Chain A
């Protein structure tokens, strides 16, 4: 059958959903809740296209073409609505993409990763990462005012992480020849600056008390940087849409940084969930929805955690489900 896409005719089979047909001919359609081959139900509305006939928006991930259908995928109107759907999702997304410390470091050192390695006791990896980004013998921190410590989120809980000293410690630690061999090819994080970066906002008093209790590793770092950074579609599309921050603020009721161990290396952080339901529709008696409306959440009862497996992390469009 024939359909019209942005005033051009397109021959389609009618057996596949619009998004697959459109992507095949090179239309760049974003989508969060759709994964080819997986069970899904339209929810995120990020993949919307306009039905020219009645001006209604259709989720292309769940709409099958019909003869003569006229679709608009790239007008400003469509883009503005897609952007709004992303902004709405971001307003209920309590998370940092990047650690604030890394964002402000004038020397561009990947502080988040450094401290993570430090907390794991992987000193040699930490040292080689630091070496790849700066001169170990002449640390830029000496003359720096320490913006990293000023923006440190731990500082709003009790006292900021002693970042400068930790860097120092990494730079001077004696690593055995065996660990020290690997060279990191990572050369700073210039790319991240142009990207959208979600901010989690202020902690509530009860969250502060809770964070103090839970984050007790050597550095006391909250590890703000998102574990799902590399695969996060929400961030990718927000960056493409040129979003700086959601116009609707962040008014989520989710508890921040609450990471639940699910199974194996799989973890779940509800505050980052966009309720797309991919993990729900693709697990048997595993993840499920609870409540409705704005209060709707994805949950998994203790007894059902063994029913799911690690591959769900790949389906999740954000950092809500991740491998550690």
Chain B
């Protein structure tokens, strides 16, 4: 350990490096503070500085702050972000969210470990270059399986692509130092190229396209504005650019490659000088010759083909939360204002009383988008009735694996969320606001921070907002990795510097919340709809949706669907419409089996119920919940026992551990599911599982525990026969590895492709002979199945 530190600070003796560490730690403490509630920001800063929590830095905390050992152990071991051992230089995070799970994330994790020769018990390479970890969800579900290395996200990472990804990452490391000086062409602007620059867009190559656009402009001497924009939601069609010319037309190019950029730009914009035009013409001829692609080929024919699916994806959607999708620059406050942004705030502050605002929200019928569906207006009223200074918290701790709505809303529409929050604060009489954003969303944190600064500069935050006597400001609190902190009382505990233990309600946060003050907690999406309600009026909002659930809902569509992405549809749209019409049907032409809604708290809706209209009450009745809005599509090749086990595994790891039913009960359910998926269960285990599930649902202390059995209860309700088959040792989909083995059929022609691709050398290299899989060595990663051109490898019962 000592040696490591020295390498970091470049000093030779351990004493000196401890001295440096103390100085750095002191600087962090001076910056952040010494009170107990600062523990999470302090630990985050220390970990960012040293890459882990070194014991010498911790000792310094004991010496200089109010934090004691009991608190430190309690907090640092509760949140999954913190680590006590040094990690390698680069951290590989393999997403095991729902969408990634159903697409084989565990095989990807294993493949990285094999490729990097990381031992069974270790997570770091011998040369300390890479560490690997599984993370709950990176929120890029439409690109599953997803892997993040440092800040770079890679989408569609199959086990066979692991080496390629590492090579790409390392080549980027060496290249990143170059090209940074290509901005500021002042002349006449000829138009605009717009690209989505969210985490997930960057993951699928938009960063490279962005670089290509910059390079091409420089090269061609074209002077255009390159504008990062809000998410279009068509995550399946990225990289995607919009070219806006001066005549106002916008042409959209989905699925483009960096090498196509130049052609596209040349098609729309005239290079600066004749000479350049000429040179480019010649160069292009050479390019065309070499790549065997004609102009037409790249630009015209495919454009229509390519845009067709995206148009069906975008039809049928209704924009309130994501109004301005695809053209709004997330951090251009003037643009936001020019499009009616902050009109609602002005209206609220200047023309409405607090009670009028609350009444309007109440009348709109909007219900909380975080999962529970509690009427937002009633919540506001409860807080406002207290007559005490209150807090407003925006809950951006979106932890559901398989959901990424909040991340995109925070990254794409930060100003809209902030506007909603200021209106809420004014209505309930709050003095301070907190954005609680989970640590896995660094881009969202950066954007919100910038957006808050912009608002302060415009006098929209701070003292005497818009010249009224209303003062309010917002700070950002980064979560530290705990799903349970999405529960409002646990979230508050975490801001107060404690373990994320929920406590029994009542008292509700509306009466006694953050630091004992009345506190309003609303979800990101809820707040993002407030401005619309105030600006357009409750009546307008009520026109959309169903009787019990008004307005629109943003969903993260992922899993085995052709076009995943972020969508916003009116409440009451059916699941089948979403999957078939917006999502373009199930991937690979398979039959729809179920749609999982609401993440680990939700349930699986079988295909036959997918014609029901989706709103809060309908889903509850069917044993699922709306949740925050993750929709994971499951096809006939998804095993429902495996899906249930996956979620229970998640909740058992994320349980806070406070109450018996959640801590021990969920573990015991998982024991039974483990037995089921390995073929060791008995029939009575299914009854016992159900009994436990029903008991936990009624008796657990908080929302996480009470809803954790839902994935099991709903699959038991609609797919009980699959559980019974598992007792008999049958898993038809081959998802439960212990029950199946891979076998090569007589269709094998002996091409050796599988043998060459097998990472565990389970297939002997035998040209022109029928290949054989050594079951002992086989890890069932499935690479050979993908490689085989003759469809000759099958999963069969063991």
A-side interface residues toward B, CB under 8 Å? 41-46, 48, 55-57, 59, 62-64, 81, 84-85, 88-89, 91-92, 247-248, 251, 274-275, 277, 280, 283-296, 299, 301, 303-304
Interchain CA distance A295-B654 in the complex, whole Å: 11
Are A294 and B657 neighbours in the complex by a CB distance under 8 Å? yes
**Which A residue's beta carbon lies closest to that of B507?**
A64
Interface residues of B in 653-691 (CB under 8 A from A): 653-661, 663-668, 671, 688
B161: CB under 8 A from chain A? no
Are A295 and B657 neighbours in the complex by a CB distance under 8 Å? yes
Are A292 and B652 neighbours in the complex by a CB distance under 8 Å? no
**Which B residue's beta carbon lies closest to that of A58?**
B504
**Which B residue's beta carbon lies closest to that of A286?**
B70
A228 to chain B, nearest CB (A): 19
Are B68 and A57 neighbours in the complex by a CB distance under 8 Å? no
Are B698 and A88 neighbours in the complex by a CB distance under 8 Å? no
B44 to chain A, nearest CB (A): 18
A100 to chain B, nearest CB (A): 25
Interchain CA distance A291-B68 in the complex, whole Å: 17
29 interchain pairs, CB-CB under 8 A: A41-B501, A41-B658, A42-B503, A42-B659, A43-B701, A45-B660, A45-B701, A48-B699, A55-B698, A62-B504, A63-B504, A81-B698, A85-B699, A88-B665, A89-B660, A247-B688, A251-B671, A274-B660, A275-B657, A285-B68, A289-B657, A291-B78, A292-B78, A292-B482, A292-B654, A292-B655, A295-B657, A304-B68, A304-B69
B125: CB under 8 A from chain A? no
Of B503, B657, B699, the contact of A292 (CB 8 Å cutoff): B657
> B692-704 CB contact bits vs A (8 Å, 1 = yes)?
1001001101000
Of B506, B695, B701, the contact of A42 (CB 8 Å cutoff): B701
Complex interface: chain B residues within 8 A of A280 (CB)? 70
Are A43 and B659 neighbours in the complex by a CB distance under 8 Å? yes
Interchain CA distance A289-B655 in the complex, whole Å: 14
Are A59 and B701 neighbours in the complex by a CB distance under 8 Å? yes
Q: Is the interface of B mostly helix, strand, loop or mixed?
A: helix
> B624-644 CB contact bits vs A (8 Å, 1 = yes)?
000000000000000000000
B77: CB under 8 A from chain A? yes
A-B contacts counted at CB < 8 A amount to 121
Name which of B499, B503, B506, B657 has the most chain A CB atoms within 10 A of its CB: B657
List 11 extra interface pairs beyond A88-B664, A290-B73, A293-B663, CB under 8 A. A42-B701, A43-B701, A89-B664, A92-B667, A248-B668, A248-B671, A275-B663, A283-B70, A285-B71, A292-B656, A293-B667
Are B69 and A301 neighbours in the complex by a CB distance under 8 Å? yes
Interchain CA distance A272-B474 in the complex, whole Å: 46
> B486-515 CB contact bits vs A (8 Å, 1 = yes)?
000000000000010101101000000000
Interchain CA distance A291-B660 in the complex, whole Å: 15
Are B659 and A88 neighbours in the complex by a CB distance under 8 Å? no
Are A59 and B73 neighbours in the complex by a CB distance under 8 Å? no
B338 to chain A, nearest CB (A): 47
Are A294 and B655 neighbours in the complex by a CB distance under 8 Å? yes
Interchain CA distance A303-B657 in the complex, whole Å: 25
Closest 3 CB pairs of A and B: A296-B657, A288-B70, A293-B655
A109 to chain B, nearest CB (A): 36
Of B74, B503, B661, the contact of A88 (CB 8 Å cutoff): B661
**Which B residue's beta carbon lies closest to that of A32?**
B660
Complex interface: chain A residues within 8 A of B73 (CB)? 288-290, 299, 301
Are B69 and A291 neighbours in the complex by a CB distance under 8 Å? no
Are B699 and A290 neighbours in the complex by a CB distance under 8 Å? no
Are B665 and A288 neighbours in the complex by a CB distance under 8 Å? no
B415 to chain A, nearest CB (A): 36
Are B668 and A91 neighbours in the complex by a CB distance under 8 Å? yes
Are A289 and B499 neighbours in the complex by a CB distance under 8 Å? yes
Of A41, A43, A63, A64, the contact of B660 (CB 8 Å cutoff): A43
Q: Assuming A59-B504, A285-B68, A290-B77, is B660 touching A44 (CB within 8 A)?
A: yes
**Which A residue's beta carbon lies closest to that of B67?**
A285
Are A288 and B69 neighbours in the complex by a CB distance under 8 Å? yes
Are B77 and A291 neighbours in the complex by a CB distance under 8 Å? yes
Are B661 and A45 neighbours in the complex by a CB distance under 8 Å? yes
Interchain CA distance A149-B74 in the complex, whole Å: 43
A3 to chain B, nearest CB (A): 15
Interchain CA distance A304-B69 in the complex, whole Å: 8
**Which A residue's beta carbon lies closest to that of B700?**
A45
